[in-house]
Structure 1
Amino acid sequence: MSFLSSMNISASAMTAQRLRLDIASENIANIDTTRTEAGGPYQRKMVVLESRNENNFRKIMMNAAGISRQQSTGGVKVSQIVQDTSPFKSVYNPEHPDADENGYVQMPNVDLLKETVDSMSAYRSYEANITAFNAIKMMASKALEIGK
């Protein structure tokens, strides 16, 4: 595995984690949105990640041993952004403009605690990939210094 492919893997992970953080921020921003363009309350969004690596373990080991020269495309990609299908919360507030005949308002299915944990997880993963990226840069720099 070359330095550039290692950097590409870290970069793909940073891009995916940034999107996770963006989606968590969007969910938190819409925690009280009871009316959307589609009608009804805001529905929580979630990011689905999947591996970009199409190679299996055997192919990777053969590449590492020098038996095969197929390039391994590692990393992560966002396969889709899905909407959470959990039920909406009903809150009693008869003065709200979106209240039904019984005085209940359908609130978004966004849980602040879940979104905070998702944000922290995305941030820590992003931070870990920055550390790996910087370590790769440092190794490449040290390798170039050997030739001096």
Structure 2
Amino acid sequence: MDQLKSSFYIAGSGMRAQGTRLRVISENIANKDSTAETAGGDPYRRKVVTFKNVLDREIGAELVRPTKISEDLSSFTLQYDPGHPAADETGYYKRPNVKGLVEMMDMREAQRSYEANLNVIQSTKSMVDRTIDLLK
């Protein structure tokens, strides 16, 4: 029965981790057109989540935890528009390093991982229910 309990904790930690990832992806998508407010300034910088396995000694299993949310240091793209408020003296302004297609693919991957963990919880619950029915 302890192994079934562990599977609930492991799948739950995966769901929490992917939930964090989905929140960061949503922030990236919401800011994909956010430019600087001052001339020559930097626009919104894409964020990424880093995960690691953490041993939970109480249940004796490794759980996944988000360790940090960091900025993607890839370069910004330049766009020419001399009338833009963030344009520098040459007429170019920096665009965020967020690519909508990449974010949508990351979102789909996180969603599938979340769903897989949810299926583990549902399967484990079903096994527990069957075990209880057999013991009656």
Give the structure-1-normalised TM-score: 0.83
Following superposition of structure 1 onto structure 2, how do residues 28-107 of structure 1 map, counting pairs within 5 Å? 28-35=29-36, 40-53=42-55, 71-107=59-95
- Following superposition, the deviation at residue 53 of structure 1 comes to 3.2
Name the SS of the counterpart of 1:53 in structure 2.
Answer: strand
CA distance in 1, matches of 2:56, 2:125: 26
CA distance in 1, matches of 2:130, 2:25: 38
CA distance in 2, matches of 1:71, 1:98: 53
Q: Does 1:135 align with 2:119?
A: no
Give the structure-2-normalised TM-score: 0.90
Q: Does 1:26 align with 2:14?
A: no
Give per-residue Cα distances to partners, 1:43-84, cap 9 Å, x unaligned: 1000001112379xxxxxxxxxxxxxx842322000111100
Question: Which structure has greater strand proportion?
Answer: 2
Can you give the 5+ residue segments of structure 1 that lack an aligned partner in the other structure? 56-69
Q: Which residue of 2 aligns with 1:144?
A: 132
Matched length? 132
CA contact (8 A) 2:6 2:59 kept: no
Q: Which residue of 2 aligns with 1:10?
A: 11
- Following superposition, the deviation at residue 109 of structure 1 comes to 0.7
- Following superposition, the deviation at residue 114 of structure 1 comes to 1.0
CA distance in 2, matches of 1:73, 1:125: 19
